[in-house]
Amino acid sequence: MSHPNLLTSTREPLDVELKVKEGEIPKDLSGFVFINSGAGTVNSGGLPYERKLPNGEFNQEFGSPVINGDGYMYRFDFTEEGKIKLKTRILKTPCYYADIASSPILNPNNPYADIAFKNRGLARMSMKLGTRNQLNTAITPFRTPGDPQARLLATFDAGRPFEFDPESIDLITPIGENKFWRAGTPPFLNNPFPMVLTSAHPVYDPETQEVFSVNFTKTTRNLLSATEIFHLLFSSEEELEARLEERISRWEKIEDKEQVVKEVNDFFYHEAAEKEKKSFWDKVKAFYWKLIGRHFSNENAVYLVKWKGEKTPISYKIVNEDGSNIDIEHNMHQLGFSKDYVLLADTNFKFTLDVMLNNPFPNNERIDSFLRELLDGAQNDYSTLYIVHRKDLQPNVKEVKAHKVVLPLETVHFSANYDNPNGILTLHAAHNCSACPAEWVRYYDECKINGSPIDPQKVGMLAVGEMDIGKIGKIVIDVKNRDNLEDQTRFLHLEGKPGEKDPGPHTWGVGLYTYKDMLSPDRNVGEIKHIFWQAYGLNDQLLTDFMYRLYKDPNRNRTYSAEQMIEFTKKGAPFVLETVETDSMKATDHYSFPKNTYMWSLQFVPSKSPNSDIPESLNGYILCTVIGEEQNVHQSKSYFSEIWIFDASDLSKGPVAKLDHEELQFAFTIHSVWVNEANQVDTPAYKINIKQDYDEQIKHIRRRWLRRKVQSLMKDHVYPHFR
């Protein structure tokens, strides 16, 4: 069924059989595909985030990025020949139930409304409760010793992973108690739902049955970026908004940005604090802020987490080779591993408080745009990799040194060959050059190309209007000899023919990828032979004036100038699905999607009856989630949500099947995985007692009235769901 908005998503639980719209379902599909996504908040009822609430008031969530939403998991079942069954569920964490219980939208007379969660950029936060763990990003399959089938983790960049049941999609347990994880916010906050800076892509080695994740912290100054805006968490929002508007009138006239930053700092740290000092607690609070950075701040530190199904994982502090702490500039979105190494990366995806909190007043365009201009900065034009030798991860060791490697291009996602002969490591990487996956289209943005207002249908979409051509990397590193082998390293970039209906394979906006046995819980891939890549193309509606100004710097490491990118973007290019053969690093097959069609997730599904004439790495299918504009005779726009299936050995012939259902509506899906089985799993021995886990957090809340209120909320509205 078509829908009038591009970014439309349901949150309803679905148990349906998909309908064939075109083509025929391949008979040799097998197993299950899981796809993760964000699907709005407890208040929104799905997507889009409407501008007005039912009572006519402005919706505080309007304009939020589509990746800020509750995890909504898709489970595609291929076990019955000729049929594809779909099951979907919201991933209901403890903070999900606390969100419902405190919502003033769902209950206008809510006694907990003063501690409710709100969208704050990329994060959903409560001034008193902490940060929502939305589990909306990826899935990691794993096994513990003796498991008859794979188990599954749902993951998020700002929260600990949770295991969920593959059959019911119900959450089973978080991995590690709250007290195991180091919070990413200043230690004295003591929120019951701490922000845990981790990786949305923990990895599992089926040979050793080890799961690796990461937990990092940053100093308060590094975490909060240009201004100390975090102080607003202790302020009256209404008073703060009015006073900010007054000050912005003056700040906008100052040309010296450093002077503006200083004055904004003074505002948040001093004037706001003085205004609020009315009680003993407020005086203590102001004292805390004076001391922050000395006694009440996190350190810059990275901890590698290793887990094999124990109640408490093992944690190793990872340091530089000179023994100094590692300072993460952006985020640790992706981990990788090979036979001898664990790979930690400072990836180019800004997912820390500077982006999470840069629109505290989303309904106030003036404040929002001012703070975005002040706080946001371009991401680095390089990435940093930290290589840890697995033999150093011994039981009684607390600190391990890593070899630091600088990758010459921006990187968000990568995979590694499992084989690393003679210490030679091979990475396959997506390079989002001068593009910013942590930015999103705001409702007041303007198109750079013609200066027109942004298409309202695209508000909340990732601002992937790239300012340079993306690249597909094959990076070879001689770890033993501390040498980047430039003669064997390749960075593939393809212009194609912008402006044409089928421009051929290209790398405009390199996105997600898949390959056979990617994230397999049963076998490692010694050498990755073929990779299927997504490229977003060129879209003048996604190149905003703000993104242009953020990344126009001619001194960045770039292939094309900002002016050249304007000309390329004017021509446009569609989404493309393409095959890259890794030995030659050439695109050997591709499919160009129709205009105004968006391909989001892609997943390799192996054939259960492989063809011996086809290379093993091409023997299967590629499942894609696709949103497109309907051809409507009435001239009004409408959009479809469909599943397209391609023959992995022949993408160019187009999808062999297109499927839909009148209840299937998705706005933006992200990472996926294929597993052979998805039956109900037994309750594991490492299951965490949720009541004990959060009671331990609550007892550290200093203010008695707040401690009692939170305890009441948890007792009545959260704990009953976790017996």
Q: How far are the Cα atoms of 71, 154, 169, 690 from residue 151, in angstroms, in the given order?
A: 18, 10, 11, 20
Instruction: State the Cα–Cα distance between residues 40 and 705, nearest whole angstrom.
Output: 31
The amino acid that residue 448 corresponds to is K
Closest CA to 411 of 364, 360, 501, 343: 343
CB 673 within 8 A of CB 33: yes
Q: How far are the Cα atoms of 134, 377, 542, 672 from residue 350, in angstroms, in the given order?
A: 17, 10, 18, 22
Which tokens sit at 376? Answer: 């946001």
Closest CA to 407 of 509, 485, 494: 485
Instruction: State the Cα–Cα distance between residues 255 and 603, nearest whole angstrom.
Output: 49
Parallel, antiparallel, or unpaired: how do β-strands 151-156 and 159-164 relate? antiparallel
What count of other Cβ atoms lies within 10 Å of the Cβ of residue 15?
A: 11
Q: How far are the Cα atoms of 232, 310, 360 from residue 236, in angstroms, in the given order?
A: 8, 44, 12
Angle at 250 between CA 248 and CA 255, to 5 degrees: 100
> Does residue 48 have a cis peptide bond before it, meaning omega lies within 30 degrees of 0?
yes
Angle at 126 between CA 125 and CA 128, to 5 degrees: 145
Q: How far is CA 617 from the centre of its chain?
A: 27
Instruction: State the Cα–Cα distance between residues 94 and 97, nearest whole angstrom.
Output: 5
Which tokens sit at 557? Answer: 């490491």
Q: Is 370 left (phi over 0), alpha (psi -120 to 50) or beta?
A: alpha
506 is in an annotated binding site: no
Dihedral angle, C-alpha 11, 78, 199, 154, nearest 10 °: 50
CB 195 within 8 A of CB 183: yes
CB 546 within 8 A of CB 495: no
Instruction: State the Cα–Cα distance between residues 119 and 62, nearest whole angstrom.
Output: 9
Binding residues for Fe cation: 201
Binding residues: 201
